[in-house]
Amino acid sequence: MTAPIPRDIPDLPPIPGHVVLPPTVVPARAVLIPARRRAVAVFRGLIALLALTGVALELLTGGAPATALSHFTIQSGILLALVMLASARCAWSAHHPLPGALTGAALFYVLAAALVHHVLLAHASSPFAASADGTGTAWQTAATHILHTALPVAALLDWLLLTPAGRLHLRQAPVWLLYPLAYLAFSLTRGELLLPGSEGRYLYPFLDVDQHGYKIVLGNALLIGLALYALAVLLVSLDHIRPDPLRRPR
């Protein structure tokens, strides 16, 4: 005779050693093996060479090397050259690409330098436009065009045509602004440490405290910062609506 089956079966204790793992999402880069992209590597190597050429010309013709290296354009050009060289190596040797936050930041800084140059420094209607006195040499003109026009266009084409889409995020935009903010502090501190009347005391006319005072300079910096944040948001938005150039059609 068998024992009666109870109506309510009590909860059984868990089996020792049996662990239930929560469901996880495995990123595609963890299971997909990247392919060699040698044409992409060559193009990015040329971009790095273009950036280094512009920086070298600026260092050779732009006065004291320390002053030239203090400019935001030169620093962003060097950063882009390093990022492009590393990206070219990844594409050539079939390694996983660099983080989108890093490549996006390098692109953002180069575009920011070009935006400030063309809107504030080179535009004839700008109150901060440099006077066209004809003293610039042909090499200085070439360096200006390379760093402020050719290089940003080449970097933008690489991002649009050769870089996977959807890798940028809105939370990265405020982080990218930390470097321009640190550069502002560096530029103002440098101007305070140099003697009044020193050549190149303030690197950009909209940051010239001697001419405008701190109130106007900080106001200029705030407006430029807002414009740069809008540029960063625009890049992130475009990254999520543009077609992915590496996605194969089914």
The predicted pLDDT at position 24 comes to 55
Does the reported pTM lie above 0.85?
no
Kindly list the averaged pLDDT for each block of 10 residues, start to end, along the chain of length 250: 58 56 53 70 96 94 86 96 96 88 96 95 80 67 94 96 93 96 95 84 91 93 96 96 74
The pLDDT of residue 25: 53
pLDDT for 4 equals 62
pLDDT of residue 19: 54
Q: Measured between alpha carbons, how far is residue 42 from residues 50, 97, 99 in Å?
A: 12, 15, 20
Confidence (pLDDT) at 31: 45
